[in-house]
Chain A
Amino acid sequence: MHTLKQNKLAIFIGLFPALVIYLGIAIIPIGISLYYSVMDWNGIGKMSFVGLDNYSRILTDDTFWLSVQNNIVIMLTGLVGQLPLGLIMAMLLNKGLKGSGFFRTVGFMPVVISSVMVSLIWGMIYNTEYGMLNSMLAFFGLESWQQNWLGDMKWSMLSISVAYIWQNCGLYMVIFLAALQNIPDEVNEAAELDGATGFRRTLHITIPMLRSTIMVAVVYSISNSFRVFDLIQVLTGGGPAHQTEVMTLYMYNSAFMNLRYGYGSAVSILILVFSLVVISIVNRIGREKDA
């Protein structure tokens, strides 16, 4: 529509400021990270090239593998906790029951609260002496069930997982709800005529209709699980004894606590690689099923 020559300058002026800030701060630093990742640098002294040393040191560090393991726990928590729960909630809310609006409002509420706030609230729930959970157990006479929820190695990761489900489940609920509302009525009517009702209809009609949405949710949930930081940093700081440390926290500690910027950058590159690998595998599996 506008092909006048003079517009070239206008286009340039219009796009330039956004591009500079965006490329300079969101894109180019990834390249810089890659560069730092083969360097040894404490931020002050001389930077020295160490090749793949950082990577091999990371990959032989037990703490790093512990953090990978915890990332997998978080990922599975999302996949088998948040997604199914969100889907069930969405299906119930799609039945046109009275009060659905209220349940939707309440269900989505944790999603808008900052993860710092979520962690601080859950920190108080899990508090050993005065926390809600332990005092509730005492109230019901179940003192023997009381635990040091965040400080005990056996329980800490589970406690974090519960808070993680609480925080994000509502997001998947509304994603699935939107998709369910897009299923044409005729589909359900046809299913009913064929005698498919209740659970069978859910399994054979509704779930397949939601396939693409489920795929999107799975990919989002996985990429989200690799980004988890705030929740754990505030709740446990990765403790006790690195038992709840995730990769982002491991990166943060190496760079900003131990001032090993090269090493930390290498971790951040590994996180990026890991998440891309997992997501592309999942995408491939998803596409194969299409065929």
Chain B
Amino acid sequence: MNKKTPLFKVMAYTFLSLFAIMNIIPIFWMIVNSFKEEQEYAANPFSFPTTLHFSNYTKAWEIANMNIYFLNSLLITFVSLIVTVLLGSLAAYFLARFTFKLRGFTYALFLLGMLVPIHATLIPIFLIMQKLSLIDTYFSLILPYTAFHLSLTVFILEGFMRGFPKDLEESGIMDGAGVFRIFWSIILPITRPAMATVVILNFIYNWNEYLFALVLITSNSLKTLPLGLANFVGVETASYTLQMSALTIALVPILIFYLLLQKQLVTGMTAGAVKG
């Protein structure tokens, strides 16, 4: 039905291309310059490198402690993610498949969390962690990451589980399986599509988180990737090409992750925004 005149096409492609260039150029420019020698970059930041200096990467990897930050980020991201999904799916199961007096209230309580800005809780959480001597430990990040992503997790999983037919659990009850058994072997396996969305969302949010890490982590050996990078760039001001190499190292995995799981990421993050 859409008639597209040539003029419209030209204008549309011009606009789209400008937008795409705006999005790609900063990253492209950074990656290109990360291969230059410092003098070459300083002489002309707006040219292609004459030779590719991969040594920047090995240097950046070492000086920036990238291995430590990567490991910390992986550990904190995955532990938080597993705890969130486990507790969240269990809670979602009882909220979706059972009737009890405080069901509506509990559900509403969980949803409330999507409205809470983390900075409104930052100071008390810092002081609580300090009191519990958890400050500057993995736990000080795992706990808030879990707590703040339970809302969205419960919301998405509950909505999905609610849609299952009512007599789904019957075969399990007939076999005399308990409620937890039914959860584990009947409900969880068919929740997989929603689980994928939730896992991806939790991963990306935890992986990118900065504010909690900034406040709750001080030891260099415990810093996550965003915090470590921000510090590195703040300190290592002498070499821009090293900074760019470090940033590229951190950027590439997330870009690959995005390109591989684009569909789930886009739908998940959109749902997270619209509902949150």
Contacts and interface: CB of A to CB of B under 8 A. Distances in A.
A264 interface: yes
Given A109-B255, A132-B46, A2 B124 contact: no
Contact of A21 (B87, B119, B243): B87
Contacts of B27: 109, 121
B176 interface: no
A253 to B, nearest CB: 12
B46 A135 contact: yes
B147 interface: yes
Contact of A124 (B4, B115, B244, B269): B244
Interface string B228-242: 011001000000100
Nearest to A35: B124
Interface string B118-131: 11111111111010
Contact of B230 (A19, A107, A116): A116
Contact of A18 (B90, B254, B270): B90
B124 A18 contact: no
B30 A124 contact: yes
| Contact size range, A | 35 or more
A83 interface: no
A104 B267 CA distance: 13
Given A18-B87, A29-B128, A251 B179 contact: no
A116 B2 contact: no
B98 A26 contact: no
A135 B44 contact: yes
Interface stretch (A7-15, A60-68, A73-81): A7-15
Interface residues of B, number: 101
A136 interface: yes
Contacts of A290: none
A112 B258 contact: yes
Contacts of A189: 1
20 contacts: A14-B183, A18-B110, A21-B87, A21-B143, A21-B150, A25-B121, A27-B109, A33-B124, A36-B124, A95-B4, A97-B9, A97-B13, A99-B16, A103-B16, A103-B20, A109-B255, A112-B254, A114-B210, A234-B230, A268-B123
Given A14-B93, A21-B150, 17 more contacts: A10-B178, A10-B179, A17-B87, A18-B87, A18-B88, A25-B143, A25-B148, A26-B113, A28-B124, A30-B124, A97-B9, A105-B262, A139-B46, A171-B269, A174-B269, A255-B122, A272-B117
Interface of B: 1-2, 4, 9, 12-13, 15-16, 19-20, 22-27, 29-30, 41-42, 44-46, 87-88, 90-91, 93-95, 97-100, 106, 109-110, 112-113, 115-128, 130, 143-144, 146-148, 150-151, 154, 166, 169, 178-180, 183, 204, 207-211, 214-215, 225-227, 229-230, 233, 240, 243-244, 247, 250-251, 254-255, 257-259, 262, 265-266, 269-270, 273-274, 276
Interface of A: 1-3, 7-8, 10-11, 14-15, 17-19, 21-30, 32-33, 36, 43, 85, 88-89, 92-93, 95-97, 99, 102-117, 119-125, 127, 129-132, 135-136, 138-139, 166, 170-171, 174-175, 178, 185, 188-189, 192, 216, 220, 223, 226-227, 229-230, 233-234, 248, 251-252, 255-256, 261, 264-265, 268-269, 271-272, 275
Among all A-B residue pairs, the 6 with the closest Cβ atoms: A114-B208, A25-B147, A29-B124, A29-B121, A32-B124, A116-B226
